[in-house]
Structure 1
Amino acid sequence: MKKKTSFSTKGSSADLGPLSISRMLPNRYADKVGPFVFLDYVAPAIKETITKNGMGAHPHRGIATLTYILQGEVEHFDSAGNTGEIHSGGVQWMKAGNGIIHDENFNYDSQTHSKYIQGFQFWINLPAKNKAEKPAHIAIQANEVPEKVLSNEDGWIKVIVGNYQGLIFIIPTYSEQFLYHIHLEAGKQFSLKMEDKIEVAAFLPTQNVVLNDTEFQKGEFVEFDREAGEIELKNASDIAIDILIFGGEEYTEPVVAEGPFVMNTQGEIADAYRDFYAGKYGKIK
């Protein structure tokens, strides 16, 4: 049985210099999908020069951030002393834990010299018991991301979070969660089976896609119901397309989000701000 669609939306967009950023989650219909509480999409844009300054240092607490860069280069630095640089197809994961200040710098890829930038940033909510842990950081290059070629050369699937048919990524998970990047060639299709009570959404960054017999537009965020069933993806166009599928088991603890902090109570939000202003998150050196 095919899963039903709960809603679809195109989110909101804002320009940051040469970059156009679309806020897909939270949106007017949903605050989270499984443990995912935030998704920004950096649409394809040309950046002519490499800049040394970051996007702006800021704190986080209670979440893990995940940056997946399709085209371009991202440099990370934080107050725990972690640094890292990923190139097109790479992934950066940072557990904010009990508090950290970080910054990221988006540039075109110095390895390929392509001027395009395109990517995603997710926030993954941590269970209450993990929110007080020490921060951590992992940088993964494109050749380390698990990938499986689909049958009949229909395309491929990359596992960015979680696992799929024996492919397991090294990013830590604290609940059942997944993030897949699916690439479908022209005229091809692919299906995923979802278990009961799993929250799941799709984002369509490049072209229109037919999801369970309904065509959705480029730039749409589509959430499905929580019944067990199948998600069938069809590429009805004459060029290859890309789709992100992500979600996981429901986050059942209370969620209180304010600014860069995601905690379980309003009191914990107040503590997060108090500790930040008291300098307990350290400084980026």
Structure 2
Amino acid sequence: MNAHTTPVTDAHALSPRVIVYRTLGHGSGGPITRLMSPSDLGQSLKPFVFLDIFDAQESAIQAMAKMPLHPHSGIATVTVFTEGHVHYDDPASGSGTIGYGGVEWMRAGLGVWHGKEMTAPADATRIQGFQLWLALPEALELSEPQSHYIEAQDVPKIGPAHVVIGRYDGAHSPVNAPDGINYLLVTLQPGERWTYSPPPDHTVAWLAVASGKLDAGAVVQPGEMVVFADEAKPIVLEARGLESTVFVLGSAIPHPHPLRLGNYSVHTSAQALAVGEGRIRELGQKLKAAEDRVTPSGTVPVFK
């Protein structure tokens, strides 16, 4: 990683954590930009192994809706929205709306096929947010899949932060995620300053900005992801400019296993990867044989 030498200065924080790497990711000019993959930043930020920012307007929303179903194993996906909202409709989970502050949690575990379990309303003009992958611990990477939709009113909020995953400042997310991981969705008003003090063993830390500008020791632009030094120090942040700043922030205990990668899978060993990919193939055959699974609202529930 390339070192960034500009420190955060804050009279109320002692030696805050500094940025050591920054990226605008890469995309093909469409609504999705890849900020982190398991084969690059995911190697040093595990259990965080993948991050997309999506920003779709009008026709691009419909294009995203046409993306095909795809499989996963060994990971959990976490989807949050920073602008707009979507509908979910699943016989096993009920129906409702996920917007800012809510979350879709999908633990693939042994294997799933998904990709159309949420739909944007017909009159949507912009849908923006992040999809994150978490590498699951060895005890859960081949577990039975889970799929949950948690609306904003059920996600605890501490100051400017929604606690999407984990525990922070007395708040505990309802998401059934592995221990040792925090993932926050934060909005700071112009000029607002906020310090995130992760648990001492959360030496992995990063953030990505959806909108506005954020001073994290250097200014972080919309669409940019930054990585912090591996150390037990607070992260001091301030919103810059005339608009509010919206971002996601992750911290965690480092994932102790090497990453074994498939096309859509991340596991801790070659043996576990073989089991997960075998289950994906089996589910794919069952999916082809299944009847039309589209709900009246146009969603396709997770196949597991």
**TM-score greater than 0.5 by the shorter chain:** yes
Provide the residue aligned with 2:170 in structure 1: 166
Cα 1:167–1:181 shift into 2, 3 Å? same
Q: 1:108 aligns with which of 120, 123, 130?
A: 120
Provide the residue aligned with 1:3 in structure 2: 17
Q: 2:133 aligns with which of 119, 123, 131?
A: 123
Provide the residue aligned with 1:274 in structure 2: 278
1:25 aligned to 2:36?
yes
Distance 2:196 2:95 in 1: 33
1:218 aligned to 2:222?
yes
1:233 aligned to 2:233?
no
Deviations 1:239-262 (A, max 9, x none): 111121112000001211221111
Q: TM-score, normalised by structure 1?
A: 0.84
Deviations 1:99-140 (A, max 9, x none): 111222564346xx5421111111111111111211111111
More moved, 267-276 vs 88-97: 267-276
* CA drift at 1:25: 1.1
**SS class of match (2:139):** helix
* CA drift at 1:91: 1.1
Conservation of the 8 A alpha-carbon contact between 1:51 and 1:107: no
Q: Which runs of 4+ in 1 moved over 4 A?
A: 27-30, 47-54, 81-85
Q: 1:14 aligns with which of 15, 24, 28?
A: 28
* CA drift at 1:34: 4.0
Distance 2:105 2:202 in 1: 26
Q: 1:207 aligns with which of 201, 205, 212?
A: 212
Conservation of the 8 A alpha-carbon contact between 2:163 and 2:171: yes
More moved, 38-47 vs 230-239: 38-47
Cα 1:84–1:225 shift into 2, 3 Å? farther
Conservation of the 8 A alpha-carbon contact between 2:74 and 2:141: yes
* CA drift at 1:268: 3.1
Distance 1:276 1:29 in 2: 25
Q: TM-score, normalised by structure 2?
A: 0.79
Provide the residue aligned with 1:73 in structure 2: 86
Provide the residue aligned with 1:153 in structure 2: none
Conservation of the 8 A alpha-carbon contact between 1:68 and 1:120: yes
Distance 1:74 1:41 in 2: 19
Cα 1:192–1:172 shift into 2, 3 Å? same
Q: If each structure's strand is expressed as a fraction of its own residues, which one has the higher value? A: 1
Identity %: 22
* CA drift at 1:38: 0.9
* CA drift at 1:187: 1.3
Provide the residue aligned with 1:59 in structure 2: 71
Cα 1:120–1:177 shift into 2, 3 Å? same
Provide the residue aligned with 2:252 in structure 1: 248
For structure 2, the 5+ residue unaligned runs are 1-14, 294-304
For structure 1, the 5+ residue unaligned runs are 150-155
Which residue identity does 2:211 align to in structure 1?
A: T
Which residue identity does 1:244 align to in structure 2?
A: V
Conservation of the 8 A alpha-carbon contact between 1:54 and 1:106: no
Q: CA RMSD in A?
A: 2.7
Conservation of the 8 A alpha-carbon contact between 2:212 and 2:222: yes
